[in-house]
Amino acid sequence: MTGVGAENLGHHFVEQLVARGAKRVYATARRPELIDVPGVEVLHLDLTDRESINAAAAVARDVDLLVNNAAVFAAGLNFTDGDPALIRGLFDTNVHGTLDVIRAFAPGLAANGGGAILNVLSSAAWATLDGINVYGASKAAAWSMTNGLRSELAGQGTFVSALIFGMAATPPLRAFADAVAGPGVLDALMTDPAVIVGRALDGLESGRLEILADQLAIDAKAALSSDAESVYQTLGAR
């Protein structure tokens, strides 16, 4: 499990995996001191540091479920006026870093019978907004990568799934939503992160290739079959 922090999605993932009786749960982070969940093994893993990824994979050799949850959100970062180094850095983490983790853990998954990978994506991959355009594009790339990996890893028996949702009330998302819309204005659109994680684990158990965990994700997926004119008029673009 990557990207475990205080009260974030990763925190709820490892907590619920322990509660569901997982034999061993590895909680990884670039700041492991933030991990506060009893019953997990804590490891340092930074998506931009391949040595740390390989070191974690060498320790966690019994993994049969890899959850790629870590990502940079970088609210406010747009294509035209964002710092090019930050734009590259965001893709380095969200796409290349995630791929590095998958490549490091795939042999272990194969050795453990195939297992499963869950990539935590976002409905921003399908419907973006100014302020999260770069992030949305990175999640779109990660979505396509997930679909490609599914067929590449089928041969070793690894099941690859995507978790997609719009808004979970984690600290960074709350801060972004309050800043763009005003304090509390978007609260009704947010789902409790524990609920998102519960839906993710249920979806995995029932073999869903794509787990749409809130209404925003369901609507964004449905809108993919609409004309771009109607979708982007709704989003305020010309």
CB 32, min distance to ligand NAP, A:
10
Q: Which stretch binds ligand NAP (CB under 6 A): 45-53, 76-84, 109-117, 148-156?
A: 45-53
Spell out the residues 6+ positions from residue 61 whose beta carbon is closer than 8 angstroms to its own: 108, 111
**41: helix, strand or coil:** strand
- What part of residues 54-113 is at the interface with ligand NAP (CB under 6 A)? 69-73, 93, 97
Q: Nearest to residue 37, comparing CAs of 76, 56, 10?
A: 10
Contacting residue, 16, 22, 48, 111, with ligand NAP by CB under 6 A: 48
Q: How far is the CB of 38 from ligand NAP (least distance, A)?
A: 18
Q: Which of 35, 47, 90, 109 binds ligand NAP (CB under 6 A)?
A: 47
- DSSP letter (8 states) at residue 160: E
Residue 7 or 62 having the CB closest to ligand NAP: 7
Distance (Å, whole) CA 198 – CA 80: 37
Site string for ligand NAP, 127-166 (x = CB under 6 A): --------------------------------------x-
- Kindly state the number of chain residues that form the binding site for ligand NAP, as judged by CB under 6 A: 28
Q: Which string of x and - marks every residue 187-226 that binds ligand NAP (by CB under 6 A)?
A: ----------------------------------------
Q: What is the C-alpha end-to-end distance of the chain, expressed in Å? A: 40
Query: Residue 138: helix, strand or coil by DSSP?
Result: helix
Nearest Cα residue to 99 out of 34, 159, 47:
47
CA distance 228 to 237: 10
Nearest to 9 by CA among 38, 29, 33, 39: 29
Which residues would be at the binding site for ligand NAP (CB under 6 A)?
Answer: 2-3, 5, 8-10, 29-31, 45-48, 69-73, 93, 97, 120, 122, 165, 167-168, 170, 172-173
